[in-house]
Structure 1
Amino acid sequence: MSRPEPVGEGALVWLVPDGFIPERSTGGLESHEAVCVLNASRREARLSLTFYFEDREPVRGEGVVVPAERTRHLRTDRPEEVGGARVPRGVPYAVRVESDVPVVVQHSRMDTGQEALALMTALAHPVGR
């Protein structure tokens, strides 16, 4: 039995207003953030990311691909994972994720700046839905 193409599951543009890569890490885990993307469609998704700051110009990343029917967790502290964008630690930021096919975006933060680590995650805000 063939299954229908999941059309429109997600959105083309997502916003995350609260980003902050902690400067400190303790123990064996590194403090970091990730933009988690689910592509449930049968077409690969091509993403561009724009990082916004309070006191500087935006930083853009291009050419990020999420294969069809896959998920990718893009660490914002690793430029090679976010299309070459360099996001500084210890600086508040927001991120806009744009895709050429509908995707779902979640944002996660691992803060190991103290022994009792914290993990925070939130669904991004879809635009135009």
Structure 2
Amino acid sequence: MSKGKKNWVFCDGYLPPHGDNPDFEGHEALMMTNLTKKGAKISLTFIFEDKEPVCIEDISLDAMRTTCIRLDHPMGKDGFTLGESEQYTVWVKSSVPICACFGRLDVRQVNMSYYSVEGYSF
């Protein structure tokens, strides 16, 4: 039985704007876990409403390890950054099956909101 999938799609990307309190950072993150005995080579393809896709291809995840990629920080060797309030989808492609989920922390209200979702996998 496979422990994970090689492709994950998260359709609800929308990096929230910063709130008024500088002590809290609103962000989105992609969490990935490799439960296999082989290292994973991972690429992220960001798909937008109104511009060409952007692919980040330099992500490695060792066997039996986990990682969290903050999507509000520069990514890849070219330092690609997502724009605030920009609608996007992220397609995760891995050389071995992995588990992945997506999370968002929105700090624009005092009570804040955090949610995580499992994407479509195949």
Do they fold alike, i.e. is TM over 0.5? yes
Superposed structure 1 runs of 4+ greater than 3 Å apart: 80-85
| Match of residue 85 from structure 1 | 80
| Match of residue 3 from structure 2 | 9
Structure 2 CA distance, aligned partners of 1:82 and 1:103?
23
Residues 91 and 69 of structure 1: is their aligned pair in 2 closer, same or farther, counting only changes over 3 Å? same
Kept in 1, the 8 Å contact 2:33–2:66? The answer is yes
**TM-score, normalised by the number of residues in structure 2:** 0.91
Kept in 2, the 8 Å contact 1:38–1:104? The answer is yes
Give SS of 2:75's match.
helix
Unpaired segments ≥5 residues, structure 1: 1-6
Q: 1:90 offset after TM fit, Å?
A: 0.9
- 1:50-100 CA-to-partner distances (Å, cap 9, x unmatched) read 001111111111111111101101111112369843221111110000000
Structure 1 CA distance, aligned partners of 2:88 and 2:6?
21
Q: Is 2:28 the counterpart of 1:33?
A: yes
Structure 1 CA distance, aligned partners of 2:116 and 2:39?
25
| Match of residue 3 from structure 1 | none
- Aligned pairs, how many? 121
Q: Is 2:117 the counterpart of 1:94?
A: no
- For the aligned residues, what is the CA RMSD? 1.7
Residues 53 and 82 of structure 1: is their aligned pair in 2 closer, same or farther, counting only changes over 3 Å? farther
Return the match for 1:18 from 3, 12, 16. 12
| Match of residue 98 from structure 2 | 103
Unpaired segments ≥5 residues, structure 2: none
One-letter amino acid matched to 2:100: V
Identical amino acids, percent of aligned pairs: 31
